[in-house]
Amino acid sequence: MNGVTSGTLAILLAVAAASSETSALADEARPNVLLLCVDDLRPELACFGKSYIHSPHIDRLAEAGRAFHRHYVQAPTCGASRYTLLTGRYGGAGNGALFDRAKRIARDAAAVPPSMPAWFRMHGYTTVSVGKVSHHPGGRGGKDWDSDQDLEMPHSWDRHLLPAGPWQHPRGAMHGLANGEIRVKAGEMALFQSVDGPDSIYPDGLIVDESLRQLESLAKGARDDQPFFLAVGIIRPHLPFGAPARYMAPYRETRLPPIPHPQKPSGRTTWHRSGEFMKYQRWNRDPNQDSQFATEVRKHYAACVTYADAQVGRVLAKLDELGVRENTIVVLWGDHGWHLGEHAIWGKHALFEESLRSPLIIRYSGIPAPGKPSDAIVETLDILPTLCELANLPRPEFVQGVSLAPILREPSAPGHHAFSYGRGRTIRTETHRLILHRDGFVELYDHTSADKETRNVAASHDDLVAALKGELLNRLP
C-alpha cells in the first residue's frame, strides 16, 4: 500500500486545485473505472479484423463499446508507453521513465503533476492496481521488484499488488513459465510453451484471482458511494509465450495468413535484430529463415492472446456478477504493438506501424452506436482526459492529449495526428508516416499506396516532408 503523509497529500491537492476547473462533483455522477492493460498486445483480435484469432470476451466488450482501430502508443516499449498512459504526458523513451518520475517527486513533489490514479484518488476514488500496470508488476523496484522503499508511482494507489505465488517475486512472475519457472538465463528458457493445467499455472491466473477479490471489496464500497479505479495488468502475450494447453488447441490445425512484407528493409530504418526475442531458447531456429518455425511462434503468440482474453473475460464476468457494470467505465488498452515477422522483426521497439498500433476499447453505459468501431487516429495520451470527462472530473491542465468523448458519441468524428518516439520521432497522419532520426535522416511512407511502410518516398516529397517535420518538431522538440 502506498501511504501518503498529510503534508504530501496537501501539496498534491494544491497542485490539483491549481490545475483544474472548479466544478462541484456530485457523488452519483462518479462512475467507477476498470482499466485493463494487456502487455505486448497488438491488434491481433477478431474484433480488429483477425478472424483466425479466438478472442470472444474482448470481442463482446467491443460489441458493447467503441473499438479504436487506429490507436497509437507514444513509445514502442512498456515503461515509456505506460508512463504516458498513467500521467497523460509525454515521457522518456526508456523503461525507467516512471522510476525517474518518482525520483523527481522525492526531490520536489509539488513540481510533478499527479498521475492518473492520483488524480482520481484526490477526487474521492479508491485506487487499486493488480499485476503489470506500471512497468514493474506490483509497481516496486529493488533486486526482485518487491521493495516497499522503491515505489514506481508514489502517492497513486491505495493498494498496488502482485501475487507472485510459486514465481517467488514480481520479477519472477514477469517472465514466468508454467508452475513457478522463472527466468534466470534467457537462453535456457523456452521461447514458447503450452502446458496442461488450469489458468493459475501461469502468473496471469493469480493476477486475475487477486483482481476478483479486490473487485468484490471495491464493489461493496461503490454501493456505499465510494467509487473505485481498478487497474488490472495482464502480462501475456509478453515473452516467453507460455499459456495453458487448452488455449493452444484452437490453433493446432489453423492455417494462418502469410506474413505481410516479411523481408528486412533494404534502406535505412529503425529495424533491429529482435534481441529480446532472439535471446530465448530457440533450439537453433530462426523464424526469418524457417517458415515452419515462424508459424509455430505465431500460433503460440495467438494462444497467449486467447489466454489473456480469457482473463479479461473473468474480470468482466465478475463486474456483471457484482451488479456494478452499469456504473463502470471499462477501458481495454494494449501497451504497444508487436511485430510477428513483418519487416523481419520479432518484437517491438521499431517505429513501424506494427510496433506503434495497439488495441483500445472503451465501454460505458449508454454509449451511442455500441459496437461501431472508429477509424479515427487517436493516441494513448488521450485516455486520461477522456476518463476525466466520462467520470465528470475536472480536466487537469497538465494533460497533453484530448478527450475522445466526441468520437465516443459519434464514431465517425475525426481524430488527430499521432506522435511517438523511441529510436527517433514519428508522426502518423491519415495518409502518411514520417520518421525523423536523431541525426536528421527522414523516412516517409505513403499509406495510400500498396507499398505502405516498405518504400521510403521522402526524396520525392520535399514539401510534405518539411510540413510534417515542422509539425513533429513543434510537438516533440
CA distance 26 to 225: 10
Sign of torsion, CA 215 221 227 228? negative
Encode burial over 347-364: b for 16+ CB neighbours within 10 A, e otherwise: bbbbbbbbbbbbbbbbbb
**Average of pLDDT values for 20-37?**
67
**Identity of residue 202:** Y
Instruction: Tell me which residue of 126, 121, 123 sits closest to 25, measured CA to CA.
Output: 123
Q: How many CB atoms lie within 10 A of CB 326?
A: 11
Q: For 383-394, write each residue's pLDDT tens digit.
A: 999 999 999 999
Q: What are the residue boundaries of the structural domains of the chain, listed by start?
A: 6-417, 423-477
* Catalytic residue list: 78, 135
Residue 209 has pLDDT above 50, yes or no: yes
Cα distance between residue 369 and residue 112, in whole Å: 39
Q: How far apart are CA 441 and CA 425, in angstroms?
A: 11
Mean pLDDT of 73-87: 98
Could you tell me which residues come within 8 angstroms of residue 299 by beta carbon, excluding any fewer than 6 positions away?
A: 248, 251, 252, 254, 256
Task: Encode 2-29: b = buried (16+ Cβ within 10 Å), e = exposed.
Answer: bebeeeebebbeebbeebbeeeeeeeee
Record the cell numbers describing residue 19, joined without a space: 490545475
Taking only the tens place, the pLDDT of each residue in 39-61 is 999 999 999 999 999 999 999 99
State the pLDDT at residue 29: 64
Q: What is the torsion angle, in degrees rounded to the nearest 10, for the CA atoms of residue 133, residue 429, residue 339 and residue 270?
A: -100
Q: What is the pTM of this model?
A: 0.95
- Tens-digit pLDDT profile for residues 422-436: 999 999 999 999 999
Domain 6-417 is in which class? alpha beta
User: Residues with Cβ < 8 Å from 29, sequence gap 6 or more?
Assistant: 392
Asked if the model's pLDDT at residue 85 lies above 50, the reply is yes
Per-residue pLDDT band at 8 (split at 50, 70, 90): very low
Provide φ and ψ at 165, rounded to 5°. 55, -140
List b or e across 383-411, with b for residues whose CB sees 16 or more CB atoms inside 10 angstroms. Answer: bbbbbbbbbebbbbebbbbbbbbebbeeb
